Amino acid sequence: MNLESEISRLLDLMPASGRMLTKLVSKPQQAKVIDTPFPLPWKQGSRYIYINFDLWRRLSRPQRDLILLRAVSLLTNVQWFKPDLYQGVTLAALLGLTLELMQADAIGIVIAGGLTTLAARQIWRNNRSVQREIDADEGAIKVATRRGYTETEAAKHLLSGIETVAQIEGRSSLNFTELIRCQNLRAMANISPVGVPDSVKQE
């Protein structure tokens, strides 16, 4: 596998939003096949996808396509500043905390600080939930269908890719989130009639 041609191919595979927001970086020293550090709100700029291309070449091309699209989907779907209830509460609590600090009101500071912490924690949990991981898989499959794959094929390739990555990395088993993702992908690929309950997706 030629490194430059593979990076060029992967960039062509990405949706336009992925090319704008993410950056592919070769990282041969990492133990993971692909790594996508969680983008923190105070770190602006590109969201990095680190790939160990020595390990990457051991995946089939369709597996590589789906795993890359999934990584792009995961990173581009993290939105810290999308207006919603929790971000509204966080903003209001921060404003309240600022006012209480200016007035040196100890009780008000504790209450406003507590609200800020709770709301920020909920935003963090939403961005790290099983549902977010499943959404990333489904986003990747949606893009793959515009790149010549059927939904069933894409789900099968992503499913086999998850399992192959674990083998390449020397892991004896999948983690909880990967197991849930695999079950959802089996349902999408018509391999299993059993999907993932909504209660599990929210964990």
Give Cβ neighbours of residue 188 (< 8 Å, ≥ 6 apart).
138, 141, 151, 152, 155
Structural domain that includes position 103: 85-127
Split into its structural domains, the chain has a count of: 2
176 and 148 in a single domain? The answer is yes
What's the mean pLDDT in 131-141?
94
Please state the φ and ψ torsions of residue 50, each to the nearest 5 degrees. -95, 130
Which position has the higher pLDDT, 115 or 24?
Answer: 24
Asked if 95 and 188 sit in the same domain, the reply is no
Q: What is the pLDDT of residue 36?
A: 94
Would you state the pLDDT for residue 126?
Answer: 56
Burial environment of residue 107 by CB neighbours within 10 A (0 to 12, 13 to 18, 19 or more) = exposed
- Kindly state whether residues 134 and 180 are assigned to the same domain: yes
- Residue that terminates a domain, selected from 66, 97, 127: 127
Mean pLDDT of 196-200: 69
| Final residue in a domain of this structure, among 67, 99, 127 | 127
In terms of domains, do 197 and 132 share one?
yes
Eight-state DSSP code of residue 189: T
Lowest mean pLDDT among 52-66, 109-123, 163-177: 109-123
What average pLDDT does this structure show over 98-106? 59
| Local confidence band at 3 (pLDDT 50, 70, 90 cut-offs) | very high
- Unique residue bearing structure tokens 């789906």: 66
